[in-house]
Structure 1
Amino acid sequence: MTFYVSRHMYTHKIMPTRILVIGAGIAALSLAAHANDDCEVIILTKTTPADSNSMLAQGGIASAYLPDDSVQQHLQDTLEAGAGHNDAIASEAIIREGKAIVLNLLKHGCPFDRSPSQQPYLGKEGAHSQNRIFHAGGDQTGRILVQYLIQQLPKNIQFIESAQVLELIKSADHQRCIGVVYKNSLGELISIKADAVVLATGGCGQLYPVTTNNKTLTGDGLMMAYRAGVKLVDLEFIQFHPTLLINHHRVFGLVSEAVRGQGAILEDEHGRAVMAGIHPMADLAPRDVVARALQREALNGHQIYLNIRPVQHFRDHFPTISKLCDQAQVNLDEGKIPVAPGMHFLMGGIAVDDNAQSSLPGLYAIGEVACTGLHGANRLASNSLLEGLVTGKRVAMALGTCQIANSPTAELSPSLQIEVPNLSLPTLQNWLNEALAIERNAAGLIALSKKLEQLHCQITHYADASPEQIEIANAYALAKLMTQSALLRDESRGSHYRTDSPQRCDKWQGQQIVHQRGRISIVENPRILNSCTTSNFAHC
């Protein structure tokens, strides 16, 4: 049944019981591929399935495969990169389950790059001790994997494109998420009820002027969850990828770590190897280490290049990057690609349990929007696609036939108004890039917080708000939370580097900063704390 009401109400659609997924990246597609055939699944996407970070992923999927590699070695690399802030129990389970999924994809013909003997070509990336990166099309893994999974989807999966999801709908007793309100391409507000709502909305790269992220990533899913009272954690941990192709002050895209894995070297304009002596792994050090080193070189007036001369048959191995270089008018015959760091991944997000359940029953979160404990304070390269595959499958298995007993029917009408700041997205991006980027300090964060708090906001009904106003509202609200977290954690750990507190502090070990219902608190997570106290890993 459908009925239309006044302009400041919403079109109410009563739909059958189903799983409702917001987002269409790897995590969402993994869920859809593993859902029961008798369970109808709707996937809402802000634009099209082609617009996701997964489509842009170049490197691949990390998974132990070679005889001298193991799940435990992969786990150790993950924990060491994560700077003592991982949940080791969750990490080990994701890595182990991920290996089984990758082997199954390999068995069933997923087009990973292979040798003539049909063995997979395995790359090596930053902070990995072994070659364990499965890739496809050279540097087109994300796009090829997305296309492969879409081809495998059963008929019970429905996509709704150009759906800008606005708010979560809760049951009348506030105890359960039972649907969402979204705005379609005609500007109509529509609600869908569901037995289970799954956020797979990705991160927030568009809060920064230089980013690897898709243009749609403005933190929408995070702020929808927050407004519904859901816990957000670890928002201070923001990863900057060391090597984005930037020429004439324009960002053209990511230059995968796999290039350095094949021997490329980071050098300045004089040919000096800038990572020499910085870290034992040099150019393949963890991303936070390399990004900080390149940032400091830039502050000292140096231009950084990736010397690709050691990489044989570059265009064959890296066709996507080669096209980006052509677009940027970078002559690959000269063997140098100009690079600089840019925002890449949010390690924090919606706090979830081992089945991806959030603090609000009925609401799940998978992929980058969730904080599973795998990434700690700094994500290990190519663990993101692995996490998406695992968490998507987990939710599908947990929901089973998606028939949830005693699912509430009475609903609490969500607020259809949002605070829109008197601020442009480029201005917000520049503010965060100045104070909440690779390096931060208390003075800069306090100044940023004051600027954000003093902004005038206009209460606007969703029916009257443009897509851009909705995005800046979410980005602005998330920026305030991220700034609060970064100011509160007065230590340096992984991707969170405070120049005024450059060392790790014992008082912060195992502590998470939690945002919920307008409050901020510091909570001890025993599983993070025990990951260090019961292990012998160097990161502790």
Structure 2
Amino acid sequence: MRQTDVLIIGSGVAAFQLARKLRSDINVMIITKSHMKESNSYLAQGGIAAALGEQDDSEKHFHDTLAAGRYHNNPDAVRKLTATAPSVIKTLVQQGCPFDKDAQGKLLLGMEGAHSENRIVHGGGDATGKTIMDFLISQRPKNVEVIENSFVYEILVENNTCIGVKAKNEDNQIDYFLAHHVVLATGGCGQLYRYTSNAETVTGDGIALAYLAGAEIADMEFIQFHPTLLYAGGKTCGLVSEAVRGEGGRLITEDGKAIMKDVHPLADLAPRHIVSQTIYEYLSHGEQIYLDISPVKDFSSRFPTISDLCRKNGIDLKEKRIPVVPGSHFLMGGIQTDLVGRSSIQSLYALGEVACTGIHGANRLASNSLLEGLFMGENLARWLNTQSFSKSHKLPVWREPSENRSIKDLPDLQELKKAMMDHAGIVRTRAGLMSLINWLERFGGEQVGDGNLDHMQKDTLTRMFMLITASLIAKAALQRRESRGGHYRQDFPCEKNHGWQQKQIIHCRKKEKGKVDEQIKVATIT
């Protein structure tokens, strides 16, 4: 059993930003289930949005974020994010983070979909996530210990206060970690879907862990599907950044028809949910869609990561078009928190994609995710730095619950991914969602976590967490009888501003006297 002051689960941008901003006398542990560079943050091709241009300002960024989020956002949270964004970038530049600059040493500002100004800061062309993560990791203080290949599978809670976690090490042995403050920074749940841009480790663990512990989970119906994943050999092979369309790339059919021309005023730079739904419609009729890169000057030097990805998967860039499909990319919902990162369980926090802060609304604006991770990591650090960490204050000793629990069978992973893509993917219907929910409940649905977790292997635990998170998504999607942002219901194709705008669907699991009560409520965003 090990003890620390602050325990961080996950190794993305929010985790390392928090860790490096904490006081040097605070003992910090970062636990990650694989390697610390295996995360969505590290894979991120896109940049960081900040109003740094002469014609730009934070109010424009604020309004673009609300429009992309279909006004489901928390406006106060968005305004604080966009107002802080320029100083976040300037601070990183001053500290030595190597963002892309022009010959005069000024930051290059790119354009992406649904932005009204050039405000996207990049690093390494299309390797911004890697650039920032390498920088943050290089800044890791001596008081921060990183433990790799440790799979957290249970949050320890006493009297609605988180006191630590249980994890399995490389040898599948159980380790206990007790802490005064536990932070979930585990990312989203992209691997629940057949087509995804996400790292293989992003399986919804943090959301399921928090749900089983009794934390409130919000907005799970809002999944962003990135319009352009490279499609080769019958599968998705990685992300083709929206920045390609920002530089002039166009979505076309086999015969060269521009599919976005009359769909939206911004055409190929329309919000992601509109572009994804348009591509999906063509795919459903058997038409392959391509990204025409002929208008992009010096494509290989401008986008080295994407060019290398294409070559590795047999795509000849001389043909100037890349086959693409939409796939799951980002979760707008998650563990409900305030702008410090506090969840509904005392001493349990959430940062980054695993959290629902109200910033992204129903659809994340491009390049706001790395920004949110940096912003929220610093917010929580600032708050924790005001707390007392008395060395004389001892954590309670965790005692195992005495009940004997059992576990049901779990679904085949590929079958689960296909079912999610078919019924809780880009286009949803009541019939499809009901079919999915009934199928998930054959395996226990979101209540499957009442089994004995200690004796389960890590791959089985992963499938269990995926099942729980899938159930939360499906039930929220069934509940919201409208279309908004990343949630599109074919049977309710319009936004219902008088009934659903600023309304959240919140899941919470309460356990009293051995009985589990799952609650789903509709609440107004505050």
TM range (shorter): over 0.9
1:114 paired with 2:114, answer no
Query: How large is the RMSD of aligned CA atoms in angstroms?
Result: 1.7
Q: Find 1:453's aligned residue among 435, 441, 452.
A: 441
Task: Tell me the equivalent position of 1:442.
Answer: 430
Q: Count residues in correspondence.
A: 512
Label 1:68 to 1:224 Cα distance change in 2 as closer, same or farther (>3 A): same
Residues 111-140 of structure 1 show CA distances to partners (whole Å, capped at 9, x for unaligned) of 101111110111111100111111011100
Q: Are 1:169 and 1:412, in contact at CA under 8 Å, matched by a contact in 2?
A: no
Task: Tell me the equivalent position of 2:460.
Answer: 469
> Is 413-422 or 287-296 further displaced after alignment?
413-422
1:492 paired with 2:463, answer no
Task: Tell me the equivalent position of 1:424.
Answer: 412
- Written as runs of structure 1 = structure 2, the 5 A alignment for 1:40-189 is 40-171=27-158, 174-189=159-174
Indicate the SS of the match to 2:273: helix
Shift of residue 522 of structure 1? 3.0
Question: In structure 1, what is the Cα distance between the partners aligned to 2:518 and 2:408?
Answer: 21
Question: In structure 1, what is the Cα distance between the partners aligned to 2:406 and 2:351?
Answer: 25
- Written as runs of structure 1 = structure 2, the 5 A alignment for 1:513-532 is 513-517=505-509, 518-527=517-526
Q: Are 1:18 and 1:402, in contact at CA under 8 Å, matched by a contact in 2?
A: no
Residues 399-433 of structure 1 show CA distances to partners (whole Å, capped at 9, x for unaligned) of 11653576752546468967453311111001111
Shift of residue 480 of structure 1? 1.1
Shift of residue 267 of structure 1? 0.4
Residues 278-297 of structure 1 show CA distances to partners (whole Å, capped at 9, x for unaligned) of 00000000000000000001
Shift of residue 328 of structure 1? 1.3
Question: In structure 2, what is the Cα distance between the partners aligned to 1:402 and 1:208?
Answer: 40
Question: In structure 2, what is the Cα distance between the partners aligned to 1:374 and 1:143?
Answer: 24
Q: Could you tell me which amino acid in structure 1 is paired with residue 44 of structure 2? A: A
- Written as runs of structure 1 = structure 2, the 5 A alignment for 1:58-457 is 58-171=45-158, 174-400=159-385, 403-404=388-389, 409-411=396-398, 413=400, 419=407, 421-455=409-443
- Percent identity, please: 44
Question: In structure 2, what is the Cα distance between the partners aligned to 1:421 and 1:320?
Answer: 41
Q: Find 2:502's aligned residue among 502, 506, 510.
A: 510
Q: Are 1:22 and 1:43, in contact at CA under 8 Å, matched by a contact in 2?
A: yes
* Structure 2 unaligned spans of 5+: 510-516
Indicate the SS of the match to 1:305: strand
Indicate the SS of the match to 1:194: strand
Question: In structure 2, what is the Cα distance between the partners aligned to 1:116 and 1:309?
Answer: 25
Q: Are 2:405 and 2:451, in contact at CA under 8 Å, matched by a contact in 1?
A: yes
Q: Are 2:410 and 2:463, in contact at CA under 8 Å, matched by a contact in 1?
A: no
Question: In structure 2, what is the Cα distance between the partners aligned to 1:154 and 1:416?
Answer: 43
Residues 15-60 of structure 1 show CA distances to partners (whole Å, capped at 9, x for unaligned) of 2x41100000000010011111111110000001111000110011
Q: Are 2:5 and 2:389, in contact at CA under 8 Å, matched by a contact in 1?
A: no
Question: In structure 1, what is the Cα distance between the partners aligned to 2:394 and 2:490?
Answer: 50
Shift of residue 378 of structure 1? 0.4
The normalised TM-score by structure 2 is 0.94
Question: In structure 2, what is the Cα distance between the partners aligned to 1:416 and 1:347?
Answer: 36
Q: Could you tell me which amino acid in structure 2 is paired with residue 161 of structure 1? A: E
Shift of residue 486 of structure 1? 0.5
Shift of residue 458 of structure 1? 10
Indicate the SS of the match to 1:508: coil
